[in-house]
Amino acid sequence: MTRVALGLPEMRRSAASPSVEGRPRTDELIDRFGRVARDLRVSITERCSLRCTYCMPAEGLPVIPRPELLGAGEIARLVGIGARMLGIREVRFTGGEPLTRGDLVEIVARSRAAAPEVPLAMTTNGIGLDRRATALRDAGLGRVNVSLDTVDRAHFTSLTRRDRLPAVIAGIDAALDAGLGPVKLNAVLMRETLDDASELLAFAVARGLRLRFIEQMPLDADGEWARTTMVTADELLLRLSERFRLEPIGREDPSAPAEEWLVDGGPATVGVIASVTRDFCEACDRTRITAEGTVRSCLFGDDETDLRGMLRGGADDHEIADRWRAAMWGKRAGHGIDDASFVRPERSMGAIGG
């Protein structure tokens, strides 16, 4: 078993601006392969209320000291720079678990003020959402994706190492009541919950949730992922077809990661994000900010460019935007999971922000 180093302080973090040789003069976040990043993922914490085996180690990630995390004002400033100067069209808060941050409502409200035109969304495990859904909506959050892999309580407990299924379902219902929709469900494909996939789809259809299954990527902290044993999209579709009639309807738009199927003639749909077997790196339009304020151009690229030092060192918005552009210019072509030379990134999913 490969142990994955989680020592966040050892990351390859660069305070200098990466090379912009050959970059055309454009405000947008273009890369060498002609892709333009318009979808911003902001991780706001490494903490989490669950310990999903495909993401976190049992003991959780090393705690990032509070002063090293971006504050609400710093996050909002980056969101504003992204929206006003870099062509960002959607912002999603993630982590770790965003709901573990006490100032989440403030983060949303200040980001809303900094980027009034840009939709704000959140990816969450749903725990605690029942108490905060209305406040988050009032602060300007538009939509949530809730991660839920199974509605079998024993399987949920073993996969997440916490017996919290009822809390997640309460969170989903609160999101629906608050109008944080369309509410999407994200389910990572794992062998131990594959038998539960049909029941999860039935649960989603009954509540009007848009379920998307995601192929597991080699981003688990324990380093257990193996290409030969992972559950593929094809395997899932065969399994779902035993209970549902599925008709392919394609992608919502070319950069949408999910391929969609109509379920039993509709209107319900199910999506499959085949991130490993049918990668969509060619159409990737994401840029990421980690909880410590570095730009990460790809989930699988460990080179990170520090913006926090600039935020705290008196840099103006133009200087910060330029460094962000330079970081994205260096984005790699794709994750290369199937290449013989593939090396897992140092950070696990919870430490990047999925």
DSSP bridge pairs for 260 = 250, 271
Query: For residues 95 and 345, which CB has a smaller minimum distance to ligand SF4 in the complex?
Result: 95
Partner interacting with residue 75 (select from ligand SF4, ligand SAM, none; CB below 5-8 Å by kind):
none
Partner interacting with residue 287 (select from ligand SAM, ligand SF4, none; CB below 5-8 Å by kind):
none
CB of 337 to ligand SF4, least distance (A): 19
Q: Among 45, 100, 125, 150, which residue sits at the site for ligand SF4 (rule: CB under 6 A)?
A: 125
Q: 281 is written with which tokens?
A: 């790196």
Interface of this chain with ligand SF4, residues 136 to 195, rule: CB under 6 A? 147
- Cis check for the bond before 65: say yes or no (omega within 30 of 0): no
Partner interacting with residue 214 (select from ligand SAM, ligand SF4, none; CB below 5-8 Å by kind):
ligand SAM
- Could you give phi then psi for residue 32, rounded to 5 degrees? -65, -15
Interface of this chain with ligand SAM, residues 51 to 110, rule: CB under 6 A? 54-55, 94-95, 97
| Angle, helices 104-114/129-139, rounded to nearest 10 degrees | 20
Instruction: List, in order, residues 6 or more apart from 314 with CB less than 8 Å away.
Output: none
Interface of this chain with ligand SF4, residues 257 to 286, rule: CB under 6 A? none
CB of 183 to ligand SAM, least distance (A): 12
216 contributes a contact to ligand SAM by CB under 6 A:
yes
Q: Among 6, 8, 29, 55, which residue sits at the site for ligand SF4 (rule: CB under 6 A)?
A: 55
- What per-residue string of b and e applies to 293-303 under the rule 16 or more CB within 10 Å gives b? bbbbbbbbbeb
335 with 281: CB under 8 angstroms? Answer: yes
Instruction: List, in order, residues 6 or more apart from 240 with CB less than 8 Å away.
Output: 197, 198, 201, 246, 270
350 contributes a contact to ligand SAM by CB under 6 A:
yes
CB-based closest residue to ligand SAM: 354
